[in-house]
Amino acid sequence: MVAGRRAKIFLPPSNPSLLFELNQAMSKLFSDRTSQLPDDQRIVMTAVGLTSPNGNNLEDYRAALLAGRSGVRNYNIRYVGDTHAGVCDFEAVKYQSKRDMRRGTRAGTIGIWSAREAISRSGLDWENVDKSRVGIYIGITEHGNVETENEIYSISQFNYDTTVWSHHHNPRTVANNPAGEIALNMGITGPHYTIGAACVAGNAGIIQGVQMLRLHECDLAIAGGVSESIHTFGIFASFKSQGALASNADPTKASRPFDKNRNGIVVAEGGCLYILERLSDAKARSANILAEIVSYAINTDATDFVLPNPERQAQCVRLALQRGGVTPEQIDIVSTHATGTTSGDNQETDALRQVFCGSGGGGKTRFNNTKSFIGHTMGAAGALELAGNLPSFEDRVCHATINVDNLDEQCALDGLVINQPQELERVDYILNNSFGMLGINSVLLVRRFA
């Protein structure tokens, strides 16, 4: 089997269609390689904790997605003025004192909420868990911008006297901060760090957790992504100057991927962290299993700072499928990354056509988008968007992409679910796309555990 996998990876790439057909034929011979691994190498999700602009737990979040309820609202940010954003509203003091929140960061608070909620839903005897064997792997788009902007604004009010600069600035802005705040709050003494991976970060945090569990670097992983992006004016100003900041008379209709009249991104905050365990450990404690992670892939466009490359995106999707021994026709739901920009949405749908159209997947596979409900949660996007689809394994419903009043013909995918959810006969596999600036791409593939 190892030899077969090597052969697939190193086949000459000069004929992509032939390569893909050969890979799919070989994949059918092996059929979902994950199930052939020993239980201590199979990684499962046993709980999720989240906060999103339209729900602070999986049940409420899912209900909003099925009801077509947007979490985007009007928002005012310093220097930029009136715009739209996805804003989270959760009871932060449930797990933190006000003093700790003042000392820490919004990203840390979102991370603490999500981690604590995940643990509370995991069924773990947390008091007796060996905290030195717990790893924290948090994906972030950026960190420290909010705090730096705020400090500079503060000293500008005092003629730039640096004596008023907060002594909390350094621990607030170090890149490991969100994961570190979780560790401090929860008394976790195992490894903690963040993964900076642009808008791929939510997927990347999960992938890192999978890898560390398989290496037995930890016995339990808290993994996913967080974002505090709406609290920095810089991200709004940059998208605005780029002509990529969404606007609409109705904020709930501002985020509209695939619609012909889309005009940009709605920036959002959020967090979504999973409890990941080896299957052997989850079985030993009779844990409830939300999903099993089948495979993943990360690659790079190496093309442009912001413009995506559909060939490399398609390559990333194919790699995830090949690694898992899964064919396109086996995929039930693809959670798209589409952000509501013309070029980004068009390029992703082009990539998906390369993989799914003509492969047999077009008739069965459904495509949806979660950003249409909550905006772009940046570092949390991959993790949150996957979470919104996980209940499909049980209820067999694919939530829609909302706000598609006039479908752009260039985004017209067979199987694109728009405006109303669709009931499916069965859901076994969900593929989660996340793509980011500087050409980073990621795909995460999960399956219903039975």
What value does the mean pLDDT take over residues 224-252?
Answer: 97
| pLDDT score, position 4 | 37
DSSP state of 380: G
Kindly tell me if the per-residue pLDDT of 2 is higher than 90.
no
The pLDDT tens digits for 154-171 are 999 999 999 999 999 999
Collect all residues with Cβ–Cβ distance below 8 Å to 11 and sequence separation of at least 6.
19, 22, 23
Buried b (16+ CB within 10 A) or exposed e, 166-183: eeeeebbbeebbbbbbbb
Indicate the Cα dihedral angle 178, 181, 187, 189, nearest 10°.
50
Q: Is the separation of the CB atoms in 74 and 53 below 8 Å?
A: no
Provide the pLDDT confidence category of residue 450 given band limits of 50, 70 and 90: confident
| pLDDT score, position 42 | 98
The pLDDT tens digits for 265-293 are 999 999 999 999 999 999 999 999 999 99
User: What phi and psi values does residue 208 have, to the nearest 5 degrees?
Assistant: -65, -40
Provide the pLDDT confidence category of residue 11 given band limits of 50, 70 and 90: very low
- Sign of torsion over alpha carbons 213, 217, 220, 223: negative
Kindly tell me if the per-residue pLDDT of 403 is higher than 50.
yes
Kindly tell me if the per-residue pLDDT of 331 is higher than 70.
yes
Collect all residues with Cβ–Cβ distance below 8 Å to 34 and sequence separation of at least 6.
42, 292, 293, 294, 295, 324, 325, 447
| pLDDT score, position 279 | 98
First CA to last CA distance, the chain: 24
The dotted CATH code for 42-284 is: 3.40.47.10
Closest CA to 179 of 152, 151, 149, 212: 212
What value does the mean pLDDT take over residues 46-53?
Answer: 98
Alpha-carbon distance of 40 to 43, in angstroms, equals 8
Helix (H) or strand (E) holding 368: strand 366-368
- In angstroms and rounded to an integer, the radius of gyration of the C-alpha atoms of the chain is 21
- For every residue of 305-342, DSSP letters joined together read SS---HHHHHHHHHHHHHHHT--GGG--EEE----S-H
Q: Where are the domains of the chain?
A: 2-40+295-447, 42-284
| pLDDT score, position 30 | 43
Q: Return the structure tokens found at 176.
A: 């490991």
Alpha-carbon distance of 312 to 351, in angstroms, equals 8
Find how far residue 248's CA is from the centre of its chain: 25
- Sign of torsion over alpha carbons 116, 373, 208, 323: positive
- Sign of torsion over alpha carbons 147, 152, 156, 158: positive
User: What phi and psi values does residue 134 have, to the nearest 5 degrees?
Assistant: -105, 125
Alpha-carbon distance of 308 to 344, in angstroms, equals 6
Kindly give the pairing relationship between strand 270-278 and strand 220-227.
antiparallel
- How are strands ordered across the β-sheet holding 43-51? 192-196, 134-140, 220-227, 270-278, 43-51, 291-300, 440-447, 429-436, 333-335, 366-368
The pLDDT tens digits for 361-393 are 447 999 999 999 999 999 999 999 999 999 999
Q: Is the separation of the CB atoms in 299 and 49 below 8 Å?
A: no
Q: Is the separation of the CB atoms in 389 and 291 below 8 Å?
A: no
The pLDDT tens digits for 188-222 are 999 999 999 999 999 999 999 999 999 999 999 99
In single-letter form, the type of residue at position 336 comes to T
Q: Does 42-284 match 2-40+295-447 at the fold level?
A: yes
Q: How far is CA 117 from CA 123, 273, 274, in A?
A: 11, 9, 10
Buried b (16+ CB within 10 A) or exposed e, 187-209: ebebbbbbbbbbbbbbbbbbbbb
The dotted CATH code for 2-40+295-447 is: 3.40.47.10
Give the residue, 350 or 11, on which the prediction is more confident.
350
Nearest-5° Cα angle at 235, 232 to 237? 105
